[in-house]
Amino acid sequence: MIIMKFGGTSVENARSMESVIQIVARERERQPLVVLSAIAGATNDLLTCAQNALEGKLDDSVSVLNNLLERHVTIAENIIDNRPSYQQVIQFCRRRIEELRNLCQGIAILGELTNRSLDAISSVGERMSSMILCEGMKQRGFSVELVDARTFMFTDEHYASAVPLFDRIDSKAREVFSPLLKSGKIPITQGFIGCTIKGITTTLGRGGADYSAAILGAALDAEEIQIWTDVDGVLTADPRIAPKAQKLKIISFREASELAYFGAKVLHPSTILPAIKKNIPVVVLNSKRPESTGTRIVANPPKTNVPVKSIASKKGITVINIQSTRMLMAHGFLESIFAVFNRHKTSVDLVSTSEVAVSLTIDNSEQLENIVTELKNFSDVAIYDQKAIVCIVGDQMNSTAGIADKIFSALGDINVMMISMGASEINMSLVIEENRVDDAVRQLHKEFFEPVPEVELFDAVGVN
Ligand code: ASP
Ligand code: MG
């Protein structure tokens, strides 16, 4: 069997939903199980409407809800011709919106919004989208079955970012889905939503539908997990910076994880961990271009002689240089530095140390002032802002001689402030001036990918 997860943009309107149906139909022989997100923007809207209610702006809440209902009705109208099923879907959506109106009223009156209520509210997006798709498919003659995620996706009670109870999910998911799949049915279920043992609705956190897909895939020993989104997959660079960027056919989980920090708009690799642990390939595909072959993310891709796979970058980086001749070699110095960042809930991205100094980078400088004040209690601190990180990723980089040489000669006159690369690292990260970062990416891309290395690893973007 395979898991086919469709993100919000894949079901944002009737046309997209129509192509989802065709994409699923193509895979009919492989026993697909469909995991669905809410339609694009719906989860945001639902959260906004709860927030409005909390602030006493009930009219705003209601108008967000009405809009949302309108969008669902329009999709249903265009997807479902059969009158009774259309009526059934509309009824369902109207009821959910009505419930939400009441909930919002309660929130406004009490002036209180708990995460538990938030989950009850935000889960409605997936419940409506899956209902519409299910009826749309039925009408086209598919034998489908809508399975409420709350019958198998058991979680703890950490509302808004609930932790899945894997053992329970594994056995229940098998019990629920195996007979359906055996009888040739296509099950459709909601991503993102879960449920406590006591039966209260929870959610797995924003973007949680990928996680749902991976958890289900792992529970059911799927042969593949397809994550359908609106990008072709993982690229060698951002094509807006390097127009000759190529799509990678396959990439390791570790490589994908390194790239995730740089906002590779694909998926957050930690969400697919349950699948990777079981060696189930995850394929990122573009529902706007169903003929595209996507990027496979696997635990151990076959070795190639291509050391560098992708170049990513991130602007808005601040470098903090911490110096203390007195303390550096004393044990506990690094610990006291990190404790400061920890206290201010600021995560450190790159670290590089010398005998007398520690340099590190952060991308969230909200707490910078407080951090610096504390660091100054025991060291000298210098701040450099408007920097950028360029990250060169490839899991054979550390075993290929001459890579650093190539990187630095490609950079030419671009000054490198800080370098980070560990012993088993699959990436080299460099800190440079923000205003040179696009040049750096272009020059590195030219060095490593232009011309495209002759290996079965690359596809031109927008071709396949
Ligand atoms: N609809 C949820 C969100 O937008 C879950 C998902 O799409 O992954 O966060
Ligand atoms: Mg999403």
From the list 74, 278, 115, the residue with the least C-alpha distance to 205 is: 115
Q: What is the pTM of this model?
A: 0.90
Atom of ligand 1 minimally distant from the CA of 7 = 7
What length does the chain have?
464
- Give the contacts of 259 (CB within 8 A, at least 6 positions apart): 234, 266, 310, 312, 391, 393
453 DSSP 8-state letter = P
**Domains plus CATH for the chain?**
2-230 (3.40.1160.10), 310-460 (3.30.2130.10)
User: What pLDDT score does 331 carry?
Assistant: 80
- In degrees, rounded to 5, the angle at the alpha carbon of residue 284 between the alpha carbons of residues 307 and 276 is 70
Among all bound ligands, the one having the nearest atom to the CA of 119 is 1
Q: How far away, in angstroms, is 194 Cα from ligand 1 center?
A: 13
User: What pLDDT score does 462 carry?
Assistant: 67
From the list 187, 330, 230, the residue with the least C-alpha distance to 10 is: 230
User: What pLDDT score does 120 carry?
Assistant: 97
Q: What residues line ligand 1, using a CB cutoff of 6 Å?
A: 7-8, 37-38, 43, 125, 191-192, 206-210
Summarize pLDDT for 149-185 with one digit per residue, the tens: 999 999 999 999 999 999 999 999 999 999 999 999 9
From the list 364, 362, 353, 256, the residue with the least C-alpha distance to 312 is: 256
DSSP characters over 374-417: HHTTTSEEEEEEEEEEEEEE-TTGGGSTTHHHHHHHHHTTPPP-
Separation in Å, CA 286 to CA 9, 79, 201:
10, 21, 30
Summarize pLDDT for 313-337 with one digit per residue, the tens: 999 999 999 998 776 667 888 889 9
Q: Which uninterrupted H or E stretch holds 89? A: helix 83-110
Atom of ligand 1 minimally distant from the CA of 44 = 4
Pocket test for ligand 1, best of 3, 5, 43, 230 (most atoms within 8 A of CB): 43
User: For the chain, which residues score pLDDT lower than 70?
Assistant: 263-265, 327-329, 423-424, 462-464
User: What pLDDT score does 463 carry?
Assistant: 56
User: What pLDDT score does 200 carry?
Assistant: 98
User: What pLDDT score does 355 carry?
Assistant: 75
